[in-house]
Amino acid sequence: MLPFAVAFRNTPRGVLVDAVMLQESDVSILFSFTRSYFHVDLERVGEAVLFLHSIMPVKPVSELFTVLGRAKQGKTERFREIFRHLGATKDHFVRAPGERGLVMACFMLENFDVVFKVIRDQFPAVKNVRREEVMAKYDLVFRHDRAGRLVDAQEFRDIRLPRKRFAPDMLAELTGECALNVRVDGDDVIVNHAYVERRMTPLNLYLRTATPEQAELAIMEYGQAIRDLAYTNIFAGDLLLKNFGVTRHNRVIFYDYDELCRVTDCRFRDLPAATSDEDEMRAESWFYVADNDVFPETFLQFLGFEGRLREVFLEKHGEILEAGWWRSLQERLHSGDVVEVLPYHPHRVRVASSA
């Protein structure tokens, strides 16, 4: 069995075969957890899932149900997958790799491919966001075009998990800092509300062990992720590398949504020039900054790119550091222009059709 996927495009000249995909990795991206669902009217969805699983054996069945527009069935299958794994292993729930989240407590089963995210009871002052706003942002992602750059976060409620399988430090963090959502009931831990996402390698950790070639490709992917999101009217907000992950296909994906917003809701500003040496030495801005103000020129200051990686980013994606690029994109979005983000590589095959 080999995958065979054809992408057709409507053009003024007629129907065009825009791409032909014959590799499992290419077809897998079409059915990715980072893309919008296919809403397919099928009499027997299970048969379609079995077929798709035969050509994409690495992809979980739960995700195939979900991507075909059967979100509830997908959640049921994922729940079953989690408990099958618990029954077949001695894995514990431990803290997910990466920097500790300020808004979410993140944990995972040691050898299972998902992450559980629970909203903390309180956020530090640097996070100017409320719990309801965080949930609204996840809901936006669920309904929005994810463009292959946002993780599909499944919302679960009232999950009962075995207490003995939690690492002590993880359980202490959940019951101490997420008490509104997590409680212990005898031998079980009850999670009242959580988001479950596919696990990825945080980009900042990936770069520590990557070869120079892998690191350069990851940085180009990182910049392209910011672009692709912007084309679909999404500004990630917090562009720190720790908020992006790397998939098994080496695609860079954004997964931290607490500062996410629409591009059209931002005000992209050029950085005002300092009027004196004292202004340049100030720890805080000497000019007024509103909540929706964004200064693209400052992005590089906190990303930590050095040497060759900085050069690669500036060469490939330097224009996203310019407020003018963002304002121009805002004009296109306001005018109703749909900027296409393809789920495949457009150079695969281009053959004119006689249709």
133-to-140, 144, 157, 194, 292 alpha-carbon distances in Å: 10, 16, 18, 15, 15
The active-site residue out of 18, 26, 145, 152 is 152
Is 152 tagged catalytic? yes
- What is the SS3 assignment for 164? helix
At a CB cut-off of 8 Å and minimum separation 6, what does 180 contact?
119, 121, 192
End-to-end CA distance of the chain: 28
Q: Is 307 left (phi over 0), alpha (psi -120 to 50) or beta?
A: left
d(CA 248, CA 206): 12
Length in residues, the chain: 355
Question: Hey, what amino acid is at 5?
Answer: A
| CA-wise closest residue to 246 among 103, 97, 354 | 97
Q: What is the DSSP string of 33-53?
A: TTSPPP----S-HHHHHHHHH
The enclosing H or E element of 325 equals helix 323-334
What does the block give as tokens for 37? Answer: 């669902």
Asked if residue 236 lies in contact with residue 131, where contact means CB atoms within 8 angstroms, the answer is: no
d(CA 115, CA 110): 10
Catalytic residues: 152
